[in-house]
Amino acid sequence: MRFMSIVTAPRSQQYGNPTPELLEAMGKLADREIKAGRMIDNGGLMPIDQAVRITIANGELSVLDGPFVEAKEVIGGYSITEMASKEEAVALAVEFMQLHKDHMPGWEGTCEVRAFAGFAGS
Amino acid sequence: MTVADAHRAVLAIWRIEQPRLITSLARMLRDVPLAEELTQEALLAALEHWPAAGVPERPGAWLMTTARRLALNHLQRVPMLERSHAMLLRELEQDQMLPPDYEATLDDDIGDEMLRLIFTACHPLLPYDARPALALRMICGLTTAEIARAFLASEATVAQRIVRAKRTLTESGLTYETPRGEELAERLSSVLEVIYLIFNEGYTAARGDDWQRPDLCGEALRLGRVTVAIVPHQPEVHGLLALMELNASRTAARTDPAGEPILLLDQDRTLWDQLQIRRGMRSLARAEELGGAGGFYALQAAIVACHARAACAAETDWLRIALLYAELSTVTRSPIVELNRAIAVGMAEGPASGLAILDRIADAPELRSYHLLPSVRGDLLRRLGRYEEARAAFETAAALAGNKRERDLLLKRAREMGEG
């Protein structure tokens, strides 16, 4: 089963400046998971100020440059994994979030684990 | 959360942590079967404590501490005959004084240990049918019950295979080390064989009611990726991974909603997993860069890549596939490869040319009870308009097929040839 785990945080806390300890710990975890054949891809995203939004509303398509001051939750990064079960994907996400708790005190956020459509068991 | 849910959650964490536990214990104890046994005990401890007390904040560290304590207890129980044994014990006791350092366990590069473990589980001196079970158990962290389900064997049979294999490991005193030089190539080929066996068991389930078991393919893919990560300079490892990724990319297209098999040329190619195809292509390119284009697995991967590249069945480069099979034939001298070459030549040059190849291998003893020989023959005969002979061939194939879905499909094809 393939999963995407997406980390979101309040705008004020987004990954502008993760501590070096957190970066290092996340790097090690990703390295372990890649070597274990479970992680397919991962990455952190640039701040939302540099994003572009293409929106359809009221039948109108619009292209808008950031910053989006009204955004409350911001996606900071993601990973794509191939796991034997949802429980494994959750276990890894818990481990990943624990690193934030350990290495970036005060940080708050959410990691959402989503299964890809069209895969056996998903 | 039900008890079953809690157990699944524990097992998921266990599977992530198990390779590090077993390699760490194997290094401490210099005894792989014992290390495996004690990590299983650590799992039992987790299954006992976590559902009630909650999963600890650092489950990996918890498991490591528990496993090391079990190892220490074991060493204290057995008589100390050797000085080195006593020293080992002292080292371990000192280790235990230190607080468990989770970061240190993450820091440990387990690559070398993992490689040793893989070479041990796939040792050519172990019984052939025990190697996949041992690999799934020691490297993938599958339980005996899960392995039994995957191989459609009884739990008792699998447990016995594992016990026997572990006894062989202990009694033969197989050295727990990474082979070098020429031995490395030989031992590596046994590793790749085990991984490929696991993959194929899932990809074309030889027995049972289901046409494929994707979970088992997933385990083989993981094993392949682990091996690539630790021996990145061996072209055939990349070749095997490419072959598995490219084949697995078609999983969703290989069965209809009722579970009936859909043959390659009839598949809806939009269901092929493009992400996986890209990964497979990358691995194949790597194998070729490393000079391994002519390897057993790389050649097969190159053949599958021809299919992956064709946007529709009609665009398939059968000529190239036929050439690749000819090259593979010189590597393997296998009549099964010739059988596949007959299919490709039949597509590239016409059914009569394919049939000519089949005639040359019709008496090969390896193919005597192989259902695909009459199945391919039936298809070539059908295309030549020789329907009655085709029907007889499909019926012969159906009688030989061990998989129910495949048998049904062959009988259906026989019926389509008319009642004779």
A48 at B interface, C-beta within 8 A: no
Task: Kindly list the strands in the beta sheet with A110-115, ordered across the sheet, starting from the edge strand earlier in the chain.
Answer: A39-44, A73-82, A2-10, A110-115
pLDDT band at B403 (very low <50, low <70, confident <90, very high): confident
Surface of A (60-79) touching B: CB under 8 A: none
Q: Compute the CA torsion angle B275, B280, B283, B287 (nearest 10 deg).
A: -160
pLDDT band at A122 (very low <50, low <70, confident <90, very high): very low
Structural domain for A41, as ranges: 2-115
Q: DSSP class of residue A109?
A: -
Instruction: Please tell me the predicted confidence (pLDDT) of residue B367.
Output: 85
Q: What is the mean pLDDT of chain A?
A: 89
A72 has pLDDT over 90: no
Residue A73 inside a domain? The answer is yes
Instruction: Please tell me the predicted confidence (pLDDT) of residue B82.
Output: 55
Task: Find the residue in B nearest to A94 (Cα).
Answer: B57
Give the gap in angstroms from C-alpha B282 to the nearest C-alpha of chain A.
13
Residue A17 inside a domain? The answer is yes
Q: What is the mean pLDDT of chain B?
A: 86
Across the interface, do B8 and A85 touch by the CB < 8 Å criterion?
yes
pTM check: above 0.95 = no
Assess: ipTM above 0.85.
no
Q: What is the CATH number for A98?
A: 3.30.70.1060
Instruction: Please tell me the predicted confidence (pLDDT) of residue B149.
Output: 81
B79 has pLDDT over 70: no
The tokens for B266 are 């009839």
B8 at A interface, C-beta within 8 A: yes
Across the interface, do A37 and B275 touch by the CB < 8 Å criterion?
no
**Averaged pLDDT for residues B331-348:** 92
A59 at B interface, C-beta within 8 A: no
B222 at A interface, C-beta within 8 A: yes
Q: How do residues B374-395 score in pLDDT, each as one tens digit?
A: 999 999 999 999 999 999 999 9
| Residue listed under structure tokens 């890894």 | A92
Across the interface, do B12 and A37 touch by the CB < 8 Å criterion?
no
Lowest mean pLDDT among A19-33, B89-103, B246-260, B381-395: B89-103
Q: Name chain B contacts of A29, Cβ cutoff 8 Å.
A: 106
CA atoms within 13 A on the CB side of B40: 13
Across the interface, do A36 and B251 touch by the CB < 8 Å criterion?
no
Looking at per-residue pLDDT, the higher value among B109 and B132 belongs to B132
Domain count, chain A: 1
Q: What percent of chain B is modeled with pLDDT above 90?
A: 49
B107 at A interface, C-beta within 8 A: yes
Residue A121 inside a domain? The answer is no
* Secondary structure E strands in chain A: 2-10, 39-44, 52-57, 60-65, 73-82, 110-115
Task: Find the residue in B nearest to A89 (Cα).
Answer: B12
Residue A62 inside a domain? The answer is yes
Across the interface, do B251 and A95 touch by the CB < 8 Å criterion?
no
Q: Name chain A contacts of B64, Cβ cutoff 8 Å.
A: none
A117 has pLDDT over 70: yes
Surface of B (47-86) touching A: CB under 8 A: 55, 57-60
Lowest mean pLDDT among A15-19, A72-76, B228-232: A15-19
| Cis status of the peptide bond prior to A67, with omega within 30 of 0 | yes
B88 has pLDDT over 80: no
Q: How do residues B207-225 score in pLDDT, each as one tens digit?
A: 556 667 778 899 999 999 9
pLDDT band at B419 (very low <50, low <70, confident <90, very high): low
Contact B309, B274 (CB under 8 A): no
Instruction: Please tell me the predicted confidence (pLDDT) of residue B110.
Output: 64
Give the gap in angstroms from C-alpha B68 to the nearest C-alpha of chain A.
21
Residue A108 inside a domain? The answer is yes
CA distances B73 to A30, A98, B24, B28, B102, Å, are: 34, 31, 16, 13, 22
